Structure 1
Amino acid sequence: LIVCVKPQQMAEALASLRPSVTQRHLVISIAAGVRIRAIEENLADGVRVVRAMRNQACLVGLSATAFSTGKNATAEDRSTVEDIFSSVGRVYLVDEEMLDAVTGLSGSGPAYAYMVIEALAEGGVKAGLTREVAIALAAQTLLGAATMVLETRRHPEELWKLVATPGGTTEAGMRALNEGGLKDALVRAVVEATKRSKELSK
């Protein structure tokens, strides 16, 4: 049973489910900020609970999903959850305490990536490309770079250093990024989003 409601609707949803959900059921919550313990306390004893955080890219089969298991969840339940979410992307098991960080990084992350694509495309337009071509090139470039990291399993720094030839065009571009504080801004974005996730879960 997958519970997909807004956090503020969770109490009402659990109240309606409580009479019919038993130990035979696995409840998977994708409501942001609602702790496993809170779900378990509002259902019958022994109900198996899993909490998951996926992102918008699940719509195209490329989600980054992380999940945590409750005290009654079994190894078979973990396998079931992995099977479900691997159908829409990659899946990672983490401690529940890490789900706020997951929210700040991969849950909110698509928005950061869209902004990077938007900025790259704007640069392309200023350099003379049409907006349509610039957006397509920027998006494909990020997709390719992400795939390189995942498929080669090489550290991102190692990969960008392979591209940034001393005295070349990429090095000039990287210098501009460093001067503009891109890396620090993205780090702050994840930290602030994580902080907000923790606040919302209280």
Structure 2
Amino acid sequence: MIRKNIVFIGAGNMAGAIISGLLEQGYPAQAVRATTRSKESAASASERLGIAVSDDNDEAIRWADVVVLAVKPQMLQDLCNDIKPTLEQQLIVSVAAGISADSINQWLGGDKAIVRSMPNTPSQVGAGASGLYANANVSPAERAFAEQLAGATGLFIWVEDEALMHAVTAVSGSGPAYYFLFMEAMIEAGVKLGLTPESARTLTLQTALGAATLAGKVEVPVDELKRRVMSPGGTTERAIQSFEQGGLREQVSNAMADCAARSETLARELAGR
């Protein structure tokens, strides 16, 4: 395990998920700090996270080797302007959606090593999926440390073209909501078919977990796994035919294209503030 002093600027859900994952993997709590905007919120966050938390960005940054920017995207430019005079040569990791590494680098005064991370909400339970992008200033050792951070909450992939972070947003960043919608629809349909809401929910969630677990553990394409559930002329085949005739594939494709396009638009809007 690589040890560096890490400060999280912001102590919300995503920062908390990463911090919890690090500590669970044995990362020393004394090497992790966070900051919030008030002494009251700092005290609450410190108790919740089990690390030192303050409201002094400058002091924490001077202590840190790695600075994780974990504030809302709309707040990032102002934050960068505030901390720019204090930064030296720390690795910068941003978990703010939609803000390009070039924008962050410019706001911080240039010549900064920046890794963008696009995690998702299952990171809160150690089952996250993150996309990572590093600018040209990031060293191999810094990339390795960014992997350690991302790995604390689940799986990760690197993209070498930053434009692909919009696709990462469409697939994994926003993806949990797609599955939650499908689960919601299955639960409602199960109730209509006569199950209690509790039974429909239990069966739906376990089926989703089981399908994902199976797909992740066997070296079989998902289309083949689907085929293995479908007996010719059987019940599953009838359901899949109904999905296909209803245009499910096209709906998924259109929805994800819309998601990626919105990600691009937000990036331009936030960069132009």
TM-score bin (small chain): over 0.9
| 1:194 and 2:260 correspond | yes
Correspondence for 2:113:
48
Selected match of 1:26 from 91, 94, 106: 91
| 1:111 and 2:182 correspond | no
Superposition deviation, residue 107 in structure 1: 0.8
Kindly tell me: are residues 22 and 153 of structure 1, through their superposed partners in 2, closer, same or farther at Cα, counting changes over 3 Å?
A: farther
Superposition deviation, residue 48 in structure 1: 1.1
| 1:37 and 2:102 correspond | yes
In 2, are the aligned partners of 1:117 and 1:138 still within 8 Å (CA)? yes
| 1:175 and 2:241 correspond | yes
In 2, are the aligned partners of 1:21 and 1:44 still within 8 Å (CA)? no
Structure 2 matches for 1:56-67, cutoff 5 A? Answer: 56-67=121-132
Structure 2 matches for 1:71-86, cutoff 5 A? Answer: 71-86=136-151
- CA offsets, 1:32-89, max 9 Å, x none? 1111011111224432110010111111111110010011101111111111111111
Q: Distance in 1 between matches of 2:162 and 2:220?
A: 27
Correspondence for 1:92:
157
In 2, are the aligned partners of 1:22 and 1:46 still within 8 Å (CA)? no
Q: Distance in 2 between matches of 1:165 and 1:73?
A: 52
Matched residue type, 1:27? I
Q: Secondary structure at the match of 1:33?
A: coil
Q: Distance in 2 between matches of 1:188 and 1:44?
A: 39
In 2, are the aligned partners of 1:40 and 1:47 still within 8 Å (CA)? yes
Q: CA RMSD in A?
A: 1.2
Q: Distance in 1 between matches of 2:194 and 2:218?
A: 33
Q: Secondary structure at the match of 1:201?
A: helix
Correspondence for 2:228:
162
Unaligned runs of 5+ in 2: 1-66, 269-273
Correspondence for 2:80:
14
Kindly tell me: are residues 44 and 153 of structure 1, through their superposed partners in 2, closer, same or farther at Cα, counting changes over 3 Å?
A: farther
Moved more, 130-139 or 41-50: 41-50
Correspondence for 2:54:
none
Q: Distance in 2 between matches of 1:97 and 1:181?
A: 28
| Structure 1 outlier segments of 4+, above 3 Å | none
Selected match of 1:121 from 175, 187, 212: 187
In 2, are the aligned partners of 1:21 and 1:47 still within 8 Å (CA)? no
Q: Which structure is richer in relative contact order (CA contacts within 8 A, separation 6 or more)?
A: 1
Moved more, 54-63 or 177-186: 177-186
Matched residue type, 1:117? M
Percent identity between the two aligned chains: 36
Q: Secondary structure at the match of 1:32?
A: coil
Kindly tell me: are residues 160 and 86 of structure 1, through their superposed partners in 2, closer, same or farther at Cα, counting changes over 3 Å?
A: same
Matched residue type, 1:168? G
Selected match of 1:136 from 197, 202, 206: 202
Q: Distance in 2 between matches of 1:182 and 1:139?
A: 21
TM-score w.r.t. length of structure 2: 0.71
